[in-house]
Amino acid sequence: MHLPYKVTPYLICIILIQGELRVNKFIDPGLISVIYYIVNTLLFPILHGPKMKMLNIGVGTSKEKDPLHAVQEAIRQAKFSMQAKKIDLAIVFGSAEFSHPLILTAIRKILGPVSLIGASSMAVISGQGIFRHGLGIMLLSIPEGTYFNTACVKDIGSRSAPSVGKELGEKLIHNFKDIRRDLSIVFSDGLIPDGSGLVYGLQEILGKSFPLAGASASDNLVFKKTHIYFNEEASSDAACGIIWGGKLNFGLGIQHGWKPLGKMHRVTKSNNNVVYEIDGAPASQIYKDYLNCDLAGLRKELKYISIFYPIGMYLEGEKEYLLRNISSIGNDDSLTFQGDVPHGSSIRVMIGTKESCLQATEVAIKEAKKDLFGRPITCAFIFDSTSRHILLGRQVKRELEIIREGIGKDIPFLGLCTYGEQAPLKAVNYQGRSHFHNQTITVVCISN
């Protein structure tokens, strides 16, 4: 028998005391303590059921310039907001200056040998603000009945992305075979050329429809080196992840806000993430026509074209197009994208606005909350594309307010700016299969 949440031992005591007063008109003060003891220790647990151990979360951030002081401040804040003394897991996001093994060693020196994963970012996102130079740490105390495992793979540039994904998947499920698997979150080097292949490799091991979310690490927009954090190592050319199982409730939401521009086109020649021909013409011709400029002009403005006018792949049944950023233009007029663009894909040039991006943030949060079926949010992760931040400009502060209001102003969350995102598609045709995305905001909400 389970009573409603708001029925407390205090309420039961009041009812019993009022009943006693109606009979005897007087009650011994000492009897009140006896009634409360009996209700709280004996009667209430029987009626309400045993108290469930909960996932306990603390988030701390710091803008301190001294890295060690920043570590101490962020951990102090995170611990202060936690009720549990036991810490099982640390998730860390930091700007470029914090991407050093000594920082991670300092964190584990304070916390002890806890599992640690994370990634570098152009900016750290939290309830305290968006910090271009800062450190964010989420500490988690995992309750009984919920399980997790972390893993890392290195030197991924010298191998095929699918094989790397398979290796990471195998490491994640090691000693996890008899436990129900719920969700995996993955972080990868943001400059690897085939983010899609990494996702496909993971799905070969975890399952094609297994819920997978994640982010590609970023730097300070110089696109030279990003880092993955695993225990006491900060590595480029690497990927790491966590798999959850047992009793984890979660919700996922993903949106971008870019809208299609002009007519539909067809990819007539491509190989993985390189497109050679669109509608039978050299691939770059599509941008020459839309933007009315030559090849030299496209290369000069490539960064801004990639952000404001990405390619959108049409997916049957999906409301959102799957976006692809251009990373380079070849001498043969080919276009190289940050994710795969299969031969035969139906594509359109896309355009984004501040208003549409902010609306997408609201929708992504609603999607994630809907998956929780009314359960309260315990914590959340935000994986937000760097392209969206550039497009939004000063409006990123408004996006942060939307996140706070949507998730709940007292709910701890931590996020990073990404060079790519991983999240499932919603349409029935794709059976929840995760894909590599560009220019989206991915929201992961977790509930007890």
Model confidence at 211: pLDDT above 80: yes
Tens digits of residue pLDDT in 212-236: 999 999 999 898 999 999 999 999 9
pTM to 2 decimal places: 0.86
Q: Which residue bears the tokens 């993985």?
A: 272
The stretches of 293-333 forming alpha helices (DSSP H) are: 295-300, 302-308
Phi, psi of 213 (to 5 degrees): -130, 160
Sign of the alpha-carbon torsion through 399, 130, 321, 304: positive
pLDDT for 337 equals 94
The token duo for 407 is: 């998730």
The token duo for 142 is: 């995992």
- Residue 366's H or E segment, with its range, is helix 354-370
Tens digits of residue pLDDT in 53-92: 688 999 999 999 999 999 999 999 999 988 778 999 999 9
Tens digits of residue pLDDT in 8-56: 444 444 555 455 445 454 445 445 444 544 544 444 444 444 444 688 9
pLDDT for 22 equals 52
Q: Are the beta carbons of 164 and 228 closer than 8 angstroms?
A: no
If 0-12 CB within 10 Å is exposed, 13-18 middle and 19+ buried, where does residue 79 land?
A: middle
Q: Are the beta carbons of 244 and 444 closer than 8 angstroms?
A: no
Domain ranges in the chain are 9-48, 56-255+355-447, 259-351
Model confidence at 154: pLDDT above 50: yes
**What SS3 state is found at 51?**
coil
Percent of the chain with pLDDT over 90: 76
Tens digits of residue pLDDT in 241-294: 999 998 889 999 999 999 999 999 999 999 999 999 999 999 999 999 999 999
| Distance, CA of 97 to CA of 92 (rounded, Å) | 13
| Distance, CA of 332 to CA of 380 (rounded, Å) | 44
Average pLDDT, the chain: 88
**What SS3 state is found at 196?**
helix
Tens digits of residue pLDDT in 236-252: 999 999 999 988 899 99
Q: Are the beta carbons of 50 and 143 closer than 8 angstroms?
A: no
pLDDT for 431 equals 60
DSSP lists the bridge partners of residue 269 as: 277
pLDDT for 4 equals 34
pLDDT for 21 equals 47
| Distance, CA of 434 to CA of 430 (rounded, Å) | 9
